[in-house]
């Protein structure tokens, strides 16, 4: 029987991340899967009947990136909000919001996202008074870049009706709310987008992923989002694979329905239950054993009690559901590890198989790494944070003591102790190439990875962390034809130069979903 191919790629420098066959120059795809991986001559017989043949002229190909931690659907939804990522001051924020006002109807919520005061000369949060200068008629809420701190104006505070007893409502010396809201659950519950808006956001989200070479995104989603992702999938509108992590308040429903991690389709899978143990360093809510350098009385805070976490973990383990627990500060990490150490021997035998994860683990100690590894916990880390905040003069130097900052994001120490480490971006910023650059140029030489190790963490290890290593994460026959064409070979350029490497093309299931040349109009 004559074999045909949908796509043949020739004359490429293919880094497969497959230990059995680490390199190749040609691949062929048929029905979304890789039909052949090898030398150019190995696919010659497929050329006459192939629907598309691409000669890459020696360009580098890597597996499609698997971003292990995103809020990509939320990113798509926020595309219509005021983008504050490039602002350089409080005044700049006010100007951007003022421009956005005329595009809203009276009474509409005005939302913004992405501001980062650590990049400003003022080094202070926006507050309600600032936003009231923009408008006292429209309710305004703007999220800090990390999503753990939101600022509301007076109108928005009134509409939200938050109790002053809520620990996340910041108050001045007179007890008046400042407008700063830290780690408040369901803060946006009164702002409900329509089904059309959500699905538009989902479509945008997967397109955003494609631009960064992300072919699979692990998406931490809110309630009610999954059905809209599924609607988009049924209409063949998804251009990247999504692994969805529902919040912990959905676990009871999952248990009743018998839903477990890894269920789903080739495009949409159920991941783990998302649990928050603490907040963020930027919001000073990451739970740490010491105090914040710029707030000496503040240890951050745990967002749940050890008892509640233990209950969630027991329920998840006994029900075959993976947990993905956000824990940045060393105190929060200690609570998570101690909880798993407290499981019964029978439950402990299930933990490794169920691939439970600690998300971020930024301030994890070497002892905690060893304990987590012995339990089979996966460390889901964000190298993108290093380039964003851990370099000299960055946010972490402001918030934490020098010796603490030096010991953060210990990638090399984790790998050397046998930990399974996967990489994600958390959207701060998106871009696996940025993360690979960050991991291989970490300011602490002791914890740097080689570019190849970082690439593995952003491909095959991230696939493993979501039960996908059999279908994505490497370029091998039978796996999905997910791959990315790069402008340069990241294993040959100096680590410092990886930041300048570009995504040229992104293929998902053998279909080109992003082309830099087409975007440039070439």
Task: Render pLDDT for 386-404 as a digit per residue (tens, 0 to 9).
Answer: 999 999 989 999 999 999 9
Contacts of 183 (CB under 8 A, 6+ apart): 148, 149, 168, 276, 279, 283, 285, 301, 303
Average of per-residue pLDDT across 479-506: 97
Task: Write the burial class of residue 92 (CB in 10 Å: 0-12 exposed, 13-18 middle, 19+ buried).
Answer: middle
Q: Which CATH architecture has domain 196-465?
A: Alpha-Beta Barrel (3.20)
Per CATH, domain 7-64+482-519 is 2.120.10.70? no
Using CA atoms, how far apart are residues 522 and 518, in angstroms rounded to an integer?
6
Q: Is residue 316 pLDDT above 90, yes or no?
A: yes
For the stretch 253-272, pLDDT in tens is 999 999 999 999 999 999 99
Residues of the chain with CATH 3.10.310.70: 86-144+149-182
Q: Where in the chain is the domain with CATH 2.30.40.10?
A: 7-64+482-519
**Does 3.20.20.140 match the CATH number of domain 86-144+149-182?**
no
Q: Give me the helix-helix angle, 195-211 and 226-234, nearest 10°.
A: 70
pTM for the model stands at 0.93
Kindly report, residue by residue over 60-112, the tens digit of the pLDDT. Answer: 999 999 999 999 999 999 988 999 998 999 999 999 999 999 999 888 999 99
Buried b (16+ CB within 10 A) or exposed e, 38-54: bebeebeebeeebeeeb
Count of beta carbons in the 10 Å neighbourhood of residue 167: 12
* The predicted structure's pLDDT at residue 2: 66
One-character DSSP codes across 462-516: HHHHTT-TTTSSS--TTSB--EEEESS-TTTS-GGGGGG--EEEEEETTEEEEEH
């Amino acid at each position: 029987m004559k074999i045909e191919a949908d796509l043949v790629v020739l004359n490429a420098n293919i880094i497969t991340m497959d230990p059995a066959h680490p390199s190749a120059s040609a691949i062929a795809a048929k029905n979304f899967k890789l039909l052949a991986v090898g030398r150019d001559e190995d696919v010659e017989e497929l050329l006459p009947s192939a629907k598309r043949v691409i000669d890459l002229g020696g360009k580098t190909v890597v597996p499609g990136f698997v971003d292990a931690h995103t809020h990509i659907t939320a990113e798509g939804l926020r595309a219509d909000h005021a983008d504050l990522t490039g602002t350089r001051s409080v005044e700049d924020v006010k100007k951007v919001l003022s421009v956005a006002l005329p595009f809203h109807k009276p009474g509409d919520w005005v939302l913004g996202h992405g501001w980062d005061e650590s990049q400003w000369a003022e080094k202070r949060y926006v507050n309600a008074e600032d936003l009231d200068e923009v408008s006292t008629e429209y309710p305004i809420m703007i999220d800090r870049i990390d999503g753990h701190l939101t600022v509301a104006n007076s109108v928005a505070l009134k509409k939200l009706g938050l109790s002053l007893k809520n620990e996340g409502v910041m108050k001045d010396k007179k007890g008046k709310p400042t407008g700063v809201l830290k780690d408040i659950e369901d803060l946006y519950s009164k702002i409900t987008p329509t089904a059309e808006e959500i699905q538009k956001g989902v479509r945008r989200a997967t397109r955003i992923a494609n631009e960064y070479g992300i072919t699979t995104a692990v998406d931490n989603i809110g309630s009610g989002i999954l059905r809209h992702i599924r609607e988009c999938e049924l209409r063949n509108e998804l251009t990247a694979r999504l692994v969805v992590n529902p919040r912990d308040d959905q676990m009871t429903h999952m248990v009743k329905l018998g839903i477990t991690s890894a269920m789903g389709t080739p495009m949409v899978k159920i991941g783990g239950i998302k649990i928050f143990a603490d907040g963020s360093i930027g919001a000073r809510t990451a739970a740490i054993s010491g105090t914040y350098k710029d707030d000496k009385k503040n240890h951050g805070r745990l967002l749940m009690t050890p008892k509640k976490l233990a209950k969630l973990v027991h329920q998840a383990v006994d029900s075959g559901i993976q947990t993905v627990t956000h824990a940045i500060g060393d105190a929060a990490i200690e609570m998570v590890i101690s909880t798993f150490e407290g499981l019964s021997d029978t439950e402990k035998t299930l933990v490794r198989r169920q691939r439970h994860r600690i998300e971020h683990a930024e301030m994890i100690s070497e002892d905690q790494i060893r304990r987590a590894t012995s339990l089979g916990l996966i460390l889901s880390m964000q190298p993108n944070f290093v380039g964003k905040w851990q370099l000299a003069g960055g946010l972490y130097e402001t918030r934490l003591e020098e010796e603490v900052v030096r010991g953060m994001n210990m990638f090399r120490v984790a790998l050397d102790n046998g930990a399974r480490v996967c990489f994600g971006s958390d959207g701060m910023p998106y871009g696996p190439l940025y993360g690979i650059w960050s991991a291989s140029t970490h300011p602490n030489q002791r914890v740097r990875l080689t570019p190849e190790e970082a690439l593995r963490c952003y491909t095959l290890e991230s696939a493993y962390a979501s039960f996908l290593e059999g279908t994505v994460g490497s370029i091998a026959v039978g796996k999905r034809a997910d791959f990315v064409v790069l402008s340069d070979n990241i294993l040959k350029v100096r680590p410092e130069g990886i930041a300048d490497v570009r995504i040229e093309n992104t293929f998902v299931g053998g279909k080109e979903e992003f082309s830099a040349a087409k975007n440039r109009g070439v």
